[in-house]
Amino acid sequence: MATEIPAQAEAVAGARHQLGTLLERSGLSECADMVMLVTQELMVNAMVHGCGNKPALRFAVRATHEHGCLRVEVEDPSIEQPHPRPPSADEEGGRGLYLVDSLVTRWGTERSAPGPGKTVWFELDLVAEEAAS
């Protein structure tokens, strides 16, 4: 899966649905809910922080499944790197990257090449997940 998405909430919902369908068709239904949750978190971050909620801007989502590893990448035009921050008890947001970190095998960021922007990615080691269950 590789798709460009306008920075709009409806587009995020559509991409989440598209990813869910792809996971089901690929035989990855057991991890689909978790993968869609984490991917949605990264897409919303890209829309809000990477694109500044400007619908004219776009971000990209890519998913690959090779050798027992599922990798999802979300690329946006901002060079600002995400960083977990301790949320206060009265904040609605601020917990997303902690959620990502707790659910996936590994995650990180890379500068986009060529040009400005960044890619936030996560990987899920499906072989280890299958062995654990």
DSSP string, 98-125: HHHHHHSSEEEEEE-SSSS-EEEEEEEE
Number of other residues whose CB lies within 10 A of the CB of residue 29: 11
Rounded to the nearest integer, the mean pLDDT of the chain is 90
Strand partners, 59: 5
Cβ atoms of 50 and 118 within 8 Å: the answer is yes
> Bigger pLDDT: 88 or 112?
112
Interval 1-26: pLDDT, tens: 888 999 999 999 999 999 999 999 99
Edge-to-edge strand ranges of the sheet holding 118-125: 2-6, 58-66, 69-76, 118-125, 106-111
Task: Name residues whose C-beta falls within 8 Å of residue 34's C-beta, 6 or more positions apart in sequence.
Answer: 103, 124
Predicted pLDDT of residue 128? 59
H helices within the chain, ranges in order?
9-25, 29-45, 96-103, 126-132
How confident is the model over 45-85, as pLDDT tens digits?
Answer: 999 999 998 989 999 999 999 999 999 999 999 999 998 87
